[in-house]
Amino acid sequence: MKVNETGEYPIILIYLSGYGRITCFAARNGSLSISLPTWCRSVVVESAPRRSKMLSNLPREVAREIQISGQTNFAANRWREAILYYLFGVWGDKSEVMYRPKIHLGPITLRLNPSAETYYAHAVPLLPEDELNLSLFSSEEMISVGPRQTEVETGLIRFVKNGRIKLITIHLDNGGLLRLWKGNRRGDLFLQSWGVPSMMELVRSGDSSA
């Protein structure tokens, strides 16, 4: 078996039709490294620090873009603007938002069920992570809402507009919860979730809105 220049040998080859291959290397000391095709490396480089946070079980930042209702994108550091755009779209019954009322935050998507007037979510399966230490926040800095539509939306606008509120916990209609909190820099937003199903699990459960 051919080893690379660092003495590692390939254990998994994943061929991407027309796009090269991904190779997983194992070293003699038990470590694992991954070789990516050029197009993929160019995508991963910018988000490498975030990926390292995920792998070390630290809080996750949102993706580089926040998507509203599958149509409108905002840079992650414009998360306040993104949430306000969504809320005003819901309250104004704007078709570009109400067509599919949801906020896509990278690994987690928060969605409104208009008929039930409740919020639920689905998430991309990720590594387990340590639960956020709530003792880092005072009671005045935290709010807890949900899953009713009015509660969630009122909580979100308070979270955006009130500088004293640092963390919001959203209890979801389909079980579990979503937690968002502000970082030290104005553009930072972190998230965690527990008990949130994947999209596939929603489809299997017969949720047609997924």
Strand segments (E) across the chain: 9-16, 20-26, 32-35, 60-61, 65-68, 72-75, 102-104, 108-113, 118-123, 142-145, 167-171, 177-182, 189-194
Lowest mean pLDDT among 4-13, 142-151, 178-187: 4-13
Q: What is the pLDDT of residue 70?
A: 86
Region 20-31: mean pLDDT is: 52
CB 61 within 8 A of CB 189: yes
Residue 169: pLDDT above 90? yes
CB 200 within 8 A of CB 207: no
Residue 9: pLDDT above 90? no
DSSP 13-38: EEEETTTEEEEEEE-TTS-EEEE--H
The answer to whether the peptide bond before residue 147 is cis (omega within 30 degrees of 0) is yes
- Rounded Cα–Cα distance for residues 169 and 155 (Å): 9
Residue 181: pLDDT above 70? yes
Instruction: Determine if the pTM surpasses 0.75.
Output: no
pLDDT in tens, 43-102: 332 333 332 233 233 445 555 689 999 889 999 899 999 999 999 999 999 999 999 999
Lowest mean pLDDT among 31-40, 45-54, 103-112, 122-131: 45-54
Q: Which carries the bigger pLDDT value, residue 198 or residue 93? A: 93
In this prediction, residue 193 has a pLDDT band, given cuts at 50, 70 and 90, of: confident
Pairing label, strands 167-171, 142-145: parallel
Q: What is the pLDDT of residue 47?
A: 32
- Rounded Cα–Cα distance for residues 173 and 4 (Å): 50
Q: Which of 53, 88, 49, 46 is nearest to 69 (CA)?
A: 88
SS3 127: coil
